[in-house]
Homo-oligomer: A and B are copies of this chain.
Amino acid sequence: MKRPDIGEIARRAGVSRSTVSYALSGKRPISPEKRDKILRLVEKLGYRPNASARALAEGRSRTVGLVIPPLSHRLVDAQLAFVAVLTELASSVDLDVLLSPSTGDDDRSFRRMLNGGRVDGVLLMEVRMNDERIAALEESGVPYVLIGRPADPTGLHWVDIDYGGLVERCVQHLADLGHRNVALLNRSAELVAAGYGPARRAVAALEAAAARHRLRAHPICCADDTAGGEAGMKQILEMRPRITAAVTINESALQGVSRALDRSRVRVPRDFSLVGVVGERWAEDFHPRMTAAVVSPAELVRSAFAMLLERIADPGAEPRHVLQSPSITLGGTTGRAPRG
């Protein structure tokens, strides 16, 4: 009951192996009778071309690689979206997805993905400001697209969310409402330390905007979970009444933020304003609905995948990039600064 190979099909159909191959690929005209006979046999015997043999002969694997961050940084919702959406997209064009965990430290899995001809292209997520994996990708010659971008993205292919610009816009919004002391509820200290782009750019943007609007900036890191959010928000609320508003980019902490506000009996937006750069579901789940720049990781990965396909098709293509920068949707969490 072993799986038949192409030779078995050819034998039974009374044709050569090349005829079977061409009948299946459609790369050359085959007489209708032979074609039908072959296709019937393929169906009946459940023949599928061996992927390795095909990859070896064709020189491509019909597989794209996705490099995911290791478990140690708790994976957040947006990352799940990357995996799930990419898998669906790839499957819709008959590509497979190969996963590799990697920080970039050493990582055999990552090198294997690059050098063994396992994949035709790579999507690298969680890019850091200074990310040595980019050099490895570059050297490997495998087409790739970054989700996120390093400090200097010149000449690279990437998609990203404009955390810098969005945080600035959030601060601007708060400044317009009269807030003079604004906190940033950032991602975790570990991510900041690791040079994680969004976290770093959020801080930089906060400070730049604060300088421009002549207000005080208070960046706070917090773990990507409820406990982290509660602790971070509590810390901020202790600085009331000086601090009257916060910007957050930490979706996963929001439930804790909410709880801290409740516990401190601080009412939003009367006593305190909150504006976020978060996914739709997070903005919506907040109560009241959060004033936020609503980002879409799914959309981002869609762009990245499209770019990757282009690049695979035309390896010499000019570097392109997509910077997602949605405008702020007003919700019920921001209002005029309370009177000092």
Min distance, Cβ A74 to any Cβ of chain B, angstroms: 9
- Cα A227 to Cα B282 in complex, Å, equals 11
Residue pairs across A and B with Cβ atoms less than 8 A apart, 19 shown, are A1-B141, A3-B141, A48-B112, A50-B116, A50-B117, A52-B56, A52-B118, A53-B56, A68-B87, A71-B85, A79-B80, A80-B83, A83-B83, A91-B109, A94-B108, A96-B100, A96-B118, A225-B281, A227-B285
Query: Do A98 and B101 contact each other (CB < 8 Å), given the known contacts A112-B48, A118-B51?
Result: no
The 3 A-B residue pairs whose C-beta atoms are closest, nearest first, are A48-B115, A51-B116, A52-B55
Partner of A88, one of B55, B84, B101, B108: B101
Min distance, Cβ A82 to any Cβ of chain B, angstroms: 11
Give A35-81 interface residues, CB cut-off 8 Å to B.
46, 48-56, 61, 63, 68, 70-71, 75, 79-80
On A, residues with C-beta under 8 Å from B are 1, 3, 46, 48-56, 61, 63, 68, 70-71, 75, 79-80, 83-85, 87-88, 91, 94, 96-101, 108-109, 111-113, 115-118, 139, 141, 225-227, 255-256, 259, 281, 284-285, 287
In the assembled complex, which residues on chain B have CB atoms less than 8 Å from the CB atom of A1? Answer: 141
Min distance, Cβ A193 to any Cβ of chain B, angstroms: 21
Query: Do A255 and B285 contact each other (CB < 8 Å), given the known contacts A56-B53, A61-B52, A75-B84?
Result: yes
- Cα A85 to Cα B12 in complex, Å, equals 45
The chain B residue sitting closest to A66, CB to CB, is B99
In the assembled complex, which residues on chain B have CB atoms less than 8 Å from the CB atom of A61? Answer: 51-52
Contact B94 A109 (CB under 8 A): yes
In the assembled complex, which residues on chain B have CB atoms less than 8 Å from the CB atom of A94? Answer: 108-109, 112
